[in-house]
Structures are given as C-alpha cells and as structure tokens.
Amino acid sequence: MGIARDFAKTHPDTLIIVTADHTHGASLIGTIDDEKPGTEMREKVGTYRDAGFPNYEDKDGDGYPDRVDVSRRLAIFANNFPDYYETFRPKLDGQNVPAVKNEKGEYVANEAYKNVPGAVLRIGNIPKSEDTAVHAVDDVVLQAQGPGSENIHGYMENTEIFRVIAEAMALGEAQQRADAAK
C-alpha cells in the first residue's frame, strides 16, 4: 500500500483499491503475556481489561513492529484448523507447518512443535484431508482513495467494484458516445 500511495502522490489521477479475495476465520481476542506467572501458556492469555496493550515497538518508524517476538503480543486464533500444537508464539524459524501427512494420508499435528514449552495439542475441526485452515465466507474490508473512491462505500458486491474501476478508467465512454450519435 505504501508504494501505491507514493505513486499516487505524483500521479493524482490514480485510484487505489485495497481488498482481499477471501477471509479466514480468525479473531483477535486479547494478548499473550509471557510475564504472567505459570508454565501453562493459556493462562498467559489476557482478555478484555486483563489483556493490556502489546509491547511492540516501531523505532524505525516504518509503521510495522521491529520485532513480533515480544513478551506481550496480540492473541490471534483461528476458528477452523487441523490437529496442531498451539505454541502461543510466532513461528520465526521458517514456514509454519501445523499439520503433516501421516502414512494413511491424513493430516496430523506436526510433532516438531510438540516440545515447545507450553505447547498444547488442539484437536482440529476440519477433515483430516486438509492441512491448514480453510477460507471463510465473511465479508472482507474494502478501502479506496483517489478519483472514484467516493463510489466505494458500505456493503458492495464484487461486481460493483469492477464497475467502479471501469468508470474510473472511462471504459465504455467511446461506445456510449457512438451509441448517443446514432
């Protein structure tokens, strides 16, 4: 988004539209505070007024945390998942692989995370033929700026977004003029 905004500064006729093609069933429920007593990680999850604020820092001012492995971080959990070990920590040592295929061709919890301190086995709620969370049908966020962005508002069907783009690009105007001249 930053690159698009920088471009739009020198090209004021630029319409920027930001959206997603789908959601995942995930929710931010509070924070995880490593400083809370105990070894059971779920006891370190704070909700409502007990959550407190995360202690991410942005010392370089780029709008993103300098590190995500801080002692008090956001608690984000998925609502559909395969069997996996919840570690309550960011995965910084490569790609997160929550489930792996067993000899029967079923996806099971990846044992690589089993011995992470505080990890708990979560029994999944999707078919064992799936290795990661599946898409959800929730509405997605839609944002826009620039000429034509006033036509992006409220709840919109995806085909309406196409119409906004087509109008911003003046697509069809030549045909409209030809039709009007007849």
* pLDDT tens figures, 75-129: 999 999 999 999 999 999 899 999 999 999 999 999 999 999 999 999 999 999 9
Indicate the average pLDDT of the chain. Answer: 92
Hey, what long-range contacts does 146-149 have (CB within 8 A, 24 or more apart)? 146/8, 146/12, 146/13, 146/14, 146/15, 146/16, 147/12, 147/13, 147/14, 147/15, 148/15, 149/15, 149/16, 149/17
Note the pLDDT of residue 158.
86
Amino acid (one-letter) located at 133: A
Sequence spans of domains, the chain: 2-19+141-181, 24-136
The pTM is what? Answer: 0.72
Are 72 and 33 in contact, with CB atoms under 8 Å apart? yes
Q: How confident is the model at residue 182 (pLDDT cuts 50, 70, 90)?
A: confident
**What mean pLDDT do residues 57-64 have?**
95
